[in-house]
């Protein structure tokens, strides 16, 4: 059972547009929700993260929106650029012994020039 | 401040062999987590090491084992390699918070023939 469900699987956006990626989770014990960006052949790079007591967090062109009641969170990339073309993963973890990250399946984003 | 480094970058092994992958954590980080990422998938948690002790394990067989050294660097050992072990192996280090914020290395691409 996929504990973190991510959509869409792939996304094509025009340069300057807004990219939106959505995630939903099952476990209400999750209390940390990061987004990672991964380029081919590279490790994931932490983009931005949010806690469930915050409804929105913005860092530069990247914004996380969080809806605790719906158990959903999303990543918005404003003014998308060709350099943003990558795979994006949402993840979640909960307070406990090791805080292992539970990952979505990823969204492949292509930003056309 | 150097980030997380991993070696080797690529590795080819044959079925039944054994492999050791290495990870140097980011300066000041005492927690190391290992993940396996199959092609086109999100990473899967293998295990975590905190202060040289295993601190949680995912759904991986005992032939996956690890070590953490006093300088917080870590090794992942896989015995009796199987074809399905072919993947990108990622190491992530975390500061004192036992893994909440995880910073990833570039990974080791393992191909088992």
B28 closest CA partner among B75, B92, B98, B95: B95
- Domain range holding A104? 4-112
Q: Do A41 and B50 touch (CB under 8 A)?
A: no
Q: Do A105 and B90 touch (CB under 8 A)?
A: no
Count of structural domains within chain A:
1
Whether residue B22 is predicted with pLDDT greater than 80 in this model: the reply is yes
What the block records as the tokens of A61 is 């062109």
Nearest to A100 among B48, B106, B109 (CB): B48
In chain A, which residues have their Cβ closer than 8 Å to the Cβ of B41?
105-106
The rounded mean pLDDT for chain A is: 94
- Interface check for A44 against chain B (CB to CB < 8 A): the answer is yes
- pLDDT for A1 equals 63
Whether residue B98 is predicted with pLDDT greater than 60 in this model: the reply is no
Q: Which of A1-15, B11-25, B91-105 has the lowest mean pLDDT?
A: B91-105
User: Mind listing the pLDDT tens digit for each residue in A42-86?
Assistant: 999 999 999 999 999 999 999 999 999 999 999 999 999 999 999
% of chain B with per-residue pLDDT over 70: 95
Mean pLDDT on A16-44: 95
- Distance between terminal CA atoms of chain B? 37
Q: Considering only CA atoms, give the Rg of chain A.
A: 14
C-alpha triplet A39, B95, B6: angle, nearest 5°: 45
3-state secondary structure of B8: coil
Give the C-alpha separation, A82 to A7, whole Å: 20
Instruction: CATH number of the domain at A32, please.
Output: 2.60.40.10
Give the C-alpha separation, A66 to A48, whole Å: 12
- pLDDT for A87 equals 97
């Amino acid at each position: 059972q996929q504990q973190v469900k991510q959509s869409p699987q792939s996304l094509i956006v025009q340069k300057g547009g807004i990219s939106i990626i959505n995630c939903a989770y099952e476990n209400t014990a999750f209390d940390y929700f990061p987004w990672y960006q991964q380029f081919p052949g590279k490790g994931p790079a932490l983009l931005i993260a949010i806690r469930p007591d915050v409804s929105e967090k913005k860092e530069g062109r990247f914004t996380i929106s969080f809806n605790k009641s719906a158990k959903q969170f999303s990543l918005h990339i404003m003014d998308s650029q060709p350099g943003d073309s990558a795979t994006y993963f949402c993840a979640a973890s909960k307070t406990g012994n090791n805080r292992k990250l539970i990952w979505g399946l990823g969204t492949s984003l292509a930003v056309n020039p | 401040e150097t980030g997380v480094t991993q070696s080797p970058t690529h590795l080819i092994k044959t079925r039944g062999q054994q492999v050791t992958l290495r990870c140097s954590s980011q300066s000041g980080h005492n927690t190391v987590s290992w993940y396996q990422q199959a092609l086109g998938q999100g990473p899967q948690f293998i295990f975590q090491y905190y202060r040289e002790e295993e601190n949680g394990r995912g759904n991986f067989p005992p032939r996956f084992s690890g070590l953490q050294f006093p300088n917080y660097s870590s090794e992942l050992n896989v015995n009796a390699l199987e074809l399905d072990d072919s993947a990108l192996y990622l190491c992530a280090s975390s500061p004192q918070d036992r893994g909440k914020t995880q910073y990833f290395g570039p990974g080791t691409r393992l191909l088992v023939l």
